[in-house]
Structure 1
Amino acid sequence: MRTVFTIIFLLAFIPSASHGHAWLKLKIATAEYAPYTSTDMQHGGYINHIITDALLETGVQVEYVSMPWEEALEATLAGEYDALSYGNFVRSRESEFFHSKPISAESLVFYVNSEKEIRTWSKLSDIADLKMGITEGYLYNDEIAAFIEGNENVVRRGSDRENFEALINGDIDIFPIDELTGWYLLEREFTDAERDNVALISPFISTVTTHLLVPKGKQNSQLVLSLFNKGIDELTLEGKLTRFKHLLKEGYYQHPQKKVHYDRR
């Protein structure tokens, strides 16, 4: 109770970003997962832009350190970083991490090799005979996690791009990925002829929410979580989360020489 009271007391007197210098600096681990997080993108990517601005709302500055996802996960758990950007909500992670309030919500979808006749599904047993590619170290959602456990038809690869290459070549039959990342990779990294070899099937698997992951083992974890959640609330009230999503779809965060526009209206 004393910890909770202290956090509430501190939040009441936290200066906003407009009141001088930051009173706290956090070090956050991040990974290369364009267009959401990347050192090659404006503001470190869409998600990191939101995280930076949310914490600035409470007078907190952020330093990002980029590294491979599994390394970032382990280092954050070991207490080397104050938080990890970012992760989908997965129940199995709750024993080690606090999930912040949602940063964004995305559709998790299946892509299939175009030569496969399947264009729709209703339950995972409908695709049980298909060879599924998944990305090493990535947790999709609780349903997919349960489906792939011990499944001999599941093949792990090191990146989403490798899985798309395998899908295009027919080495795998189906691949789950969030729709925006799938669109980004296919448009940016593959030719029209290669894209013709994959198809998006319906319905989408689920809506996944993205979160700042705060390790439970650090002394300041509750404070970091509370500060970020307060900042996200402020951004929501100001309409900035909607604005950032529009910027993402318009290609703002990407390298100007090879920009992908998501807004297909």
Structure 2
Amino acid sequence: MKKIALILFTLLLLPSQSWAHAWLKLRIATTEYPPFTSTEMEHNGYFNHITRQAFLEAGVVVEFTSMSWEEALEATLEGEYDAVSYGNFVRAREDEFWHSKPVTAESLVFLTRTDSGIDSWENLNELKKHKMGITEGYLYTDELSEYIKDTDATVTAKTDKDNLNALLEGDIDIFPIDELTGWYLLQRDFSQKQRNQLQHVKPFISTVTTHLLVPKDQQDSRLVLELFNRGIEQLTLEGKMQRFKRLLKEGFYQHPERPVNYDRR
């Protein structure tokens, strides 16, 4: 197998046009995190569409299997899948996973109720008097992960939608979420009246980069990582990454019966 991996890696030096047919199929664990990843969306979501196209640049096809975030990490580390789509860059994860080249850059924000009295924040310690909702298994950022580990003022829910409901019902006071995902879920699953009850806390938490996560201990993991990185580079050179972003804003990926207006975000 090591010899095969070395041969395949050497073939990466050939231009992508030389791949007439798919020569490798990868299995990728994914989650429900619209609009980036979702079985209800075209091409399994925005991020997964990019992932599929990046591998196709090298003649590789992928198969996505959707599951919970923790199941995705565990199953991939056990060798059942070749990668996880997707994760933010978090240093604490680097012992077990390689982060691919950045695919997108997104804003992580705090959401709160408009009547909570929480309008701004300067450091995480001042938020300890407020109950924070977090989603099971998420690391968010290095700083936020440390805060969550060191404080008891957090409540864990299984999904982001559960946390949004908890926020509206007053069970939690503040909730970190990717801005685009938060907006998408609120537009898709909540009423205008409910959306008007929530607001962003300024400033945003941070800008996070998103990545394909490749386990370090599998035999051909380095090959998978290099194939993907090469594909992302090629898509960028060809101007296709901008096209994917345009498709997202135009509503290409979303469920036709539950459209989201991104221009009003």
- The verdict on a shared fold, with TM-score over 0.5 as the criterion, is yes
Check whether the contact 1:135–1:157 (CA below 8 A) recurs between aligned residues: yes
CA offsets 1:2-45 (integer angstroms, 9 cap, x no match) = 999867622113643x7421111111111111111111110010
CA offsets 1:166-187 (integer angstroms, 9 cap, x no match) = 1111111100001000100111
Check whether the contact 1:250–1:263 (CA below 8 A) recurs between aligned residues: no
What amino acid does structure 2 have at the position aligned with 1:183? W
Q: How does 1:17-36 map to 2 (within 5 A)?
A: 19-36=19-36
CA offsets 1:66-122 (integer angstroms, 9 cap, x no match) = 122211111100001111111111111100011100111100000112111221112
Counterparts of 2:61 and 2:198, CA distance in 1: 42
**Structure 1 vs Structure 2: percent identity of aligned residues?**
60
Counterparts of 2:156 and 2:94, CA distance in 1: 24
Q: 1:190 to 1:175 in 2, by over 3 A?
A: same
Task: Give the structure 1 partner of residue 13 of structure 2.
Answer: 12
- Give me the TM-score of the superposition, normalised by structure 1: 0.94
Counterparts of 2:204 and 2:132, CA distance in 1: 16
Task: Give the structure 1 partner of residue 49 of structure 2.
Answer: 49
Q: Secondary structure, in 3 states, of the residue corresponding to 1:258? A: coil
Q: Secondary structure, in 3 states, of the residue corresponding to 2:115? A: coil
Check whether the contact 1:39–1:45 (CA below 8 A) recurs between aligned residues: yes
Task: Give the structure 1 partner of residue 199 of structure 2.
Answer: 199
Counterparts of 2:154 and 2:61, CA distance in 1: 41
Task: Give the structure 1 partner of residue 233 of structure 2.
Answer: 233
What amino acid does structure 1 have at the position aligned with 2:181? T
Task: Give the structure 2 partner of residue 102 of structure 1.
Answer: 102
Runs of 4+ in 1 over 3 A off after TM superposition: 2-8
**Residue 122 of structure 2 corresponds to residue 125 of structure 1:** no
Task: Give the structure 2 partner of residue 91 of structure 1.
Answer: 91
Check whether the contact 1:43–1:253 (CA below 8 A) recurs between aligned residues: yes
Counterparts of 2:193 and 2:256, CA distance in 1: 24
CA offsets 1:150-199 (integer angstroms, 9 cap, x no match) = 31111101111111111111111100001000100111111111112211
Check whether the contact 1:41–1:255 (CA below 8 A) recurs between aligned residues: yes
Unaligned runs of 5+ in 2: none
Counterparts of 1:83 and 1:172, CA distance in 2: 33
Task: Give the structure 2 partner of residue 145 of structure 1.
Answer: 145
Check whether the contact 1:7–1:226 (CA below 8 A) recurs between aligned residues: no
Task: Give the structure 2 partner of residue 174 of structure 1.
Answer: 174
Task: Give the structure 1 partner of residue 116 of structure 2.
Answer: 116
Task: Give the structure 1 partner of residue 163 of structure 2.
Answer: 163
Counterparts of 1:24 and 1:175, CA distance in 2: 41
Q: Secondary structure, in 3 states, of the residue corresponding to 1:256? A: coil
- How much does 1:232 deviate? 0.1
Counterparts of 1:235 and 1:14, CA distance in 2: 13
Q: Secondary structure, in 3 states, of the residue corresponding to 2:38? A: coil
Choose 223-232 or 107-116, whichever is displaced more: 107-116
Choose 229-238 or 252-261, whichever is displaced more: 252-261
Check whether the contact 1:31–1:67 (CA below 8 A) recurs between aligned residues: yes
Task: Give the structure 2 partner of residue 223 of structure 1.
Answer: 223
Q: Secondary structure, in 3 states, of the residue corresponding to 1:36? A: coil
- Give me the TM-score of the superposition, normalised by structure 2: 0.94
What amino acid does structure 1 have at the position aligned with 2:174? I
What amino acid does structure 1 have at the position aligned with 2:138? Y
Choose 189-198 or 218-227, whichever is displaced more: 189-198
**Residue 71 of structure 2 corresponds to residue 71 of structure 1:** yes
Choose 3-12 or 119-128, whichever is displaced more: 3-12
Counterparts of 1:101 and 1:44, CA distance in 2: 20
Unaligned runs of 5+ in 1: none
How many correspondences in the alignment?
263
